[in-house]
Structure 1
Amino acid sequence: MNIKTRFLVVSDTHADPISESLPSMPVDVAIYCGDLTEESKLREMEVTLELLRSINAPLKLVIPGNHDFTLDLPVFRKKIVEANLLDEPELGKREYGDFGQARDLFKQAEKDGIMLLDEGTHQFTLQNGAQLKVYATFSLRPRRDTYEIENGVDVVITHGPPRGILDRNTKDKPQSCGHPEAVARSRPRMHCFGHIHEAWGAKLVAWGNTSGEHPSHLTAIDNSRSKTIETLTSLRRTEWDTPETAERRPRYNAERCCRTSHCEGDEHPVRSGENTLFINAAIQSLEEGPQQLPWVVDIDLPRVTREEVRR
């Protein structure tokens, strides 16, 4: 038997203090898909940790993005060399901390339910009695041999999108970016990400033919049975809106979020192995104006079994 589980999904706040703009409703799990900071400075990390503490959720799962390089020690060391800060170590420490200091901040925050996830599979027993299996990675273009998602993963968390799904980059020359194959093979219930701010939105993808060594978005998705939930086009007010139609747009609801539910009994349920709900939750807008909305998502998760409780 499955359990209805509520997620709050956000990404790309870049250390903006937006806690008052997030929904106050309780959720079972909050997911933060990276770019916690703009320059990976310690003060920015602290701002984002305060944001995470303000979220009404017992479990908050976090991955770094490409802006958060101090959380990746090999990359941090490379940046120090590139910036010629080896001869002025105190200057670097004042802004970015010592090696490992940013990760220590997150280690200390575990008591608040905040978990910084390393690459790989993680399993959680939730307070609502559900079992959650997560695969996390923040690599934008990981090597194929290091991007293997186990069968039975419920939620995939990456910083960047999979190719062909909510990934259109309009800066300079429009382009798709991302890596679809592992997600097409594993078919999780939900895949959360950000990075491409202008591709904010959600899409419920029905899977087609994912056989073969390298399934792609061109061969694996059954577009006739897939459904776009929201995009920026539906989020933004237009000059043709009447007051009535504007009020129905997600940005203008009192809950300060975009809500969608895909449980059994809903019009478009997520069913394990049949379809996947993709969420691009990039908050920061590339244009001047209000931020983009966080997502509140309901999906069914498996109930914890007696065997799992004994473990």
Structure 2
Amino acid sequence: MSQSASSNRPTRFLIISDTHNFQFTDNAGSANPFRLPIPKVDVLLHCGDLTHYGGIDDSYQKALQMLGGIDAELKLVIAGNHDVDLDKTYRKPRLSEEDNREAHKAAIRTMTGPRTAQAGVTYLEEGTYTFTLKNSVTFTVYASPYSPEFDNWAFATGVLDECPSGSAGCENLLHAMKRVRPLMHCFGHIHEGHGAFVMDWAEKEREEIQAGSAQWSQMERDDFDSDGEMENEYPEPTQFGRIIRGQQTLMVNAAIMTGGMAMEPKNAPWIVDLDLARRA
């Protein structure tokens, strides 16, 4: 995410990922941190994996229903590696070629049709988009559903990406991040990596010079990991207004589900306030 030049004003984001068929009705009365009512925000970012295995049992429609219950002016959603029907090239092994094509068309219709509009959702495919909010804040988002090949999942092609099998990040993406240095980078995919920190690119460059091939995961960082333990209210938004634009990037792994076979919605969503530029 990058900024336009102008006067700034606070903008509130709710950042989630890897909801995997999650429904608030299934979570009623639980102590899980992702639950209703959610505070009103300006922008909802869903970083992929709406479903567990595509459109089985109308999973995309159920995901839209869940997102429709969140109060946000703008709701931006991308696919993840589990949203297999949204990947035109993915083939479910038990379906014929024709059935796979039809499943893809149906999924795209759902994510771009009337139900999406009713839920207030904007489905993003890979590309760069610019949005202007009612308060005249303008920002640019580069969206991509792709990740390095990970078992037999969809959208196969650095940081907060450690899982039992090792690091599952994309080195090319990390180099691109270092070059562009956006204000915020949001993602999910690796549930175990849930957390956030501020990447200081200048410090990282000095570390590389001093240590040669230093590992990104070894850098010193401000860690804002949630322990998922809350009472009845959401915590106050995390303030990141101190981020130095062009020098630092807020990295957010927003996976709601925990790692392992259980995959429970016990990771807290991120509510973040950022100062963004108003349209001149």
Residues 193, 205 of structure 1: alpha-carbon distance in 2 compared, 3 angstrom cutoff: same
Per-residue deviation at 1:23?
4.7
Equivalence for 2:230 = 252
SS of residue paired to 1:28? strand
CA drift at 1:9: 0.5
Structure 1 equivalent of residue 166 of structure 2:
174
**Could you tell me how far apart the structure 2 residues matched to 1:278 and 1:184 are?**
12
Instruction: Identify the match of residue 85 of structure 1 among 96, 100, 104.
Output: 96
Partner of 1:138, secondary structure, is coil
C-alpha distance in 1 between matches for 2:51 and 2:106: 15
Spell out the pairing of 1:22-171 with structure 2 (5 A cutoff).
Answer: 22-41=36-55, 43-75=58-90, 79-80=91-92, 82-86=93-97, 92=99, 98-108=103-113, 109-141=116-148, 163=158, 165-169=159-163, 171=164
**Structure-to-structure mapping, 1:216-235, within 5 angstroms:** 218=214, 223=219, 226-230=221-225, 235=227
Verify the 8 A CA contact 2:39 2:234 in the aligned structure 1.
no
Partner Cα distance (1:217, 1:71) in 2: 37
* Alignment partner of 1:272 is 2:216: no
Give 1:187-226 correspondences, 5 Å limit. 187-208=181-202, 218=214, 223=219, 226=221
Q: 1:218 to 1:125 in 2, by over 3 A?
A: farther
Structure ID, larger Rg: 1
1:271 is displaced (CA, Å) by 2.4
Cα 1:5–1:13, aligned 2, differ >3 Å: closer, same or farther?
same
Query: C-alpha distance in 1, partners of 2:217/2:52?
Result: 34
Query: Is the CA contact (8 Å cut-off) linking 1:205 and 1:221 kept in structure 2?
Result: no
Q: Is the 8 A contact 1:184 1:210 kept in 2?
A: no
Structure 1 residues 201 and 222, CA, compared in 2 at 3 Å: closer, same or farther? closer
AA partner of residue 167 (structure 1): D
Quote how far apart the aligned CAs of 1:253 are.
3.9
User: Is 1:121–1:136's contact at 8 Å kept on the other side of the alignment?
Assistant: yes
- 8 Å CA contact 1:191, 1:276 repeated in 2: yes
Pair 124,111 (structure 1): closer, same or farther in 2 beyond 3 Å: farther
Q: Does 1:10 align with 2:16?
A: yes
Displacement of 1:24: 1.9
Paired with 1:167 and 1:185, the residues of 2 have a C-alpha distance of: 20
The number of residues matched between the two structures is: 249
**1:259 Cα shift?**
3.5
**Using the alignment, how far apart are the partners of 1:127 and 1:84 within structure 2?**
45
Deviations 1:230-255 (A, max 9, x none): 15xxx1xxxxxxxxxxxxxx521433
Corresponding residue number in structure 1 for 2:31: none
Matches of 1:222 and 1:175, distance apart in 2: 13
Q: Is the 8 A contact 1:23 1:257 kept in 2?
A: no
Contact 2:196/2:252 (<8 A) preserved: yes
Q: TM-score, normalised by structure 1?
A: 0.71
Q: CA RMSD, aligned part only?
A: 3.1
On the 8 A contact 1:33/1:62 being kept in 2, the answer is: yes
The 1:128/1:23 distance shift into structure 2, 3 A limit, reads farther
Q: Which has the higher contact order (CA 8 A, sep 6+)?
A: 2
Give structure 2 stretches of 5+ with no counterpart.
1-6, 29-34, 150-154
